[in-house]
Amino acid sequence: MTLLIKNGTIVTVSESFQADIAVKDGVISAIGQNLDIKADKVVDASGKLVLPGAIDAHTHLAMPFGGTQSADGYLAGTRAAACGGVTTVFDYPMQRKGKGILETIRERKAMCDPEACVDYAFHCIITDLNDNTILDEFQAAVDEGITSFKCFLVYKKEGMMVDDGTLVKILLKAKEVGALTNIHAENPDLIDMNIEKFLKEGKTSAWYHYLSRPEFVEAEADKRAVHWAKSVDAPLYIVHMADKEGLEAAAEAKRQGHKIFIETCPQYLEFTSDVYKREDGRNFVCSPPMKGEESKEALWKAIQNGDIDTVATDHCPFQSYEKDWGKDDFTKIPNGCAGVENLYPYMLSAANEGKISFNRAVELCAANPAKIFGCESKGSLAVGKDGDIVIYDPDLDFTITTEAMHSDYDHTIWEGITVHGYPVQTFVRGRLVYDQGEFVGEPGYGNFIKRIPNQV
Ligand SMILES: [Zn+2]
């Protein structure tokens, strides 16, 4: 099967140029002017941009949380991904006490494989070392293509936190096997202290979710994680960076030559903590919470100057009735928001508006996550790479509504926001999965991406 996309403007990290692109048996086989190739399917992309499919390096599909699970399972989440130009999603299976890494991964793979509409990969969250036996499994996990592990510095009461000693053990072991350690950085003791105080005072609205974990609560943990990574000379990837002070500390370490990578999410670029004052503030509850204007501006600056490496979503939506559990107590609100279908359109819209270049949007959403996480065949348009391609109409404005999305959730924080420019077609390994507003893919088509170690 050969696909030929003609007359579009191809965008890579370093350049944009008009050319045709051919995909044969799922792999990009040629890029050039006026390609004379016999194809089964020809697409005219005149006036359109031809982009690598995005990689959302941070999603939580079918994730158990607070007595329920996230509203998008593997089918809905990857269907929505396809419709937003995301051709690979990373999910976060969670290892729990008494369980092994491979056992955890295989369970999730069995769930995901028949449902995945786009390609997928796993990071594994480590919550307990099982008397250090988990460390002995790191190599086997890497051999199975799991080359990144995540630790929570938070969720202490929930039994998911790792202490500093455990974090350092994980940093060192990950480094030894060529893997990368991802960190969710917030300080649990400060959060728990604040929560106790606010609940006692009857301060229970969503605004107190933010006030219980404000800027300095995240910054402390960002800095601590950076400190340990620097001290033991191990690579570190900080997920969903949302505060200025932590960002600056991480960026400073990066400039000193340490292997520190920084991810942020569209919600931290679009919203501020003011959303928690809204009547529907609980719908915006995620951790870390959105911060003040100063942090938002610092994040944009880091998007522009290269300090931030990736933008991913932390996609973890819940239904309205579940968010409502916390109407009178912010601690009962399931944490998480939607985003997988909005990531690429949002960042490309920023490019369309001149905030960043299209090349930079491609770097943040496709090339960098592929490089950092060892997805050899993904992330850029070049001969030999997978035919993961998005055709993007820069003139098509689109207003986001829950109705127009392709998830299973019943509300979105992105409701009513207009993006300038929108994907019109998405191909995964040369197969059309999204076509002008419609999902046309197939559950089970998505492949597990076995990643290669030692990439950073
Ligand atoms: Zn997350």
- Ligand 1 centroid to Cα of residue 24, in Å, is 36
Which backbone phi and psi does 119 adopt, to 5 degrees?
Answer: -70, 155
**pLDDT tens for each residue of 96-149:** 999 999 999 999 999 999 999 999 999 999 999 999 999 999 999 999 999 999
Is-contact 264 299, C-beta < 8 A?
Answer: yes
- Ligand 1 centroid to Cα of residue 47, in Å, is 37
- Please report, rounded to a whole number, the percentage of residues in the chain having pLDDT higher than 90: 98
- Ligand 1 centroid to Cα of residue 339, in Å, is 12
Mean pLDDT (the chain) is 97
DSSP track, 222-270 = HHHHHHHHHHTT--EEE-S---HHHHHHHHHHHHTT--EEEEE-HHHHH
Strand partners, 4: 22, 42
User: Which residues touch 314 (CB under 8 Å, ≥6 apart)?
Assistant: 58, 59, 60, 239, 240, 265, 267, 286, 336, 337, 339
User: Which residues touch 251 (CB under 8 Å, ≥6 apart)?
Assistant: 262, 302, 307
- The structure tokens listed for 253 are 């370490």
The confidence score (pLDDT) of residue 67 equals 82
Helix 244-255, helix 293-305: angle, nearest 10: 30
- Ligand 1 centroid to Cα of residue 166, in Å, is 20
- Ligand 1 centroid to Cα of residue 382, in Å, is 31
**pLDDT tens for each residue of 278-324:** 999 999 999 999 999 999 999 999 999 999 999 999 999 999 999 99
Phi-psi region of 188 (alpha: psi -120 to 50; beta: other; left: phi over 0): alpha
- Ligand 1 centroid to Cα of residue 247, in Å, is 17
- Ligand 1 centroid to Cα of residue 239, in Å, is 7
Residue 38 has pLDDT above 90, yes or no: yes
- Ligand 1 centroid to Cα of residue 42, in Å, is 39
- Ligand 1 centroid to Cα of residue 58, in Å, is 6
- Ligand 1 centroid to Cα of residue 9, in Å, is 34
Average pLDDT score over residue span 248-262: 98
- Ligand 1 centroid to Cα of residue 320, in Å, is 20
**pLDDT tens for each residue of 14-31:** 999 999 999 999 999 999
- pLDDT bucket at 66, cuts 50 / 70 / 90: confident
- Ligand 1 centroid to Cα of residue 350, in Å, is 23
- Ligand 1 centroid to Cα of residue 121, in Å, is 15
- Tell me the C-alpha distance between 413 and 293, whole Å: 18
**pLDDT tens for each residue of 402-437:** 999 999 999 999 999 999 999 999 999 999 999 999
- Ligand 1 centroid to Cα of residue 387, in Å, is 28
- Tell me the C-alpha distance between 214 and 207, whole Å: 11
The confidence score (pLDDT) of residue 41 equals 96
- Ligand 1 centroid to Cα of residue 133, in Å, is 25
The confidence score (pLDDT) of residue 65 equals 81
**Where do the DSSP E strands lie in 174-220?**
180-184
- Ligand 1 centroid to Cα of residue 135, in Å, is 22
**pLDDT tens for each residue of 326-379:** 999 999 999 999 999 999 999 999 999 999 999 999 999 999 999 999 999 999
**pLDDT tens for each residue of 186-208:** 999 999 999 999 999 999 999 99
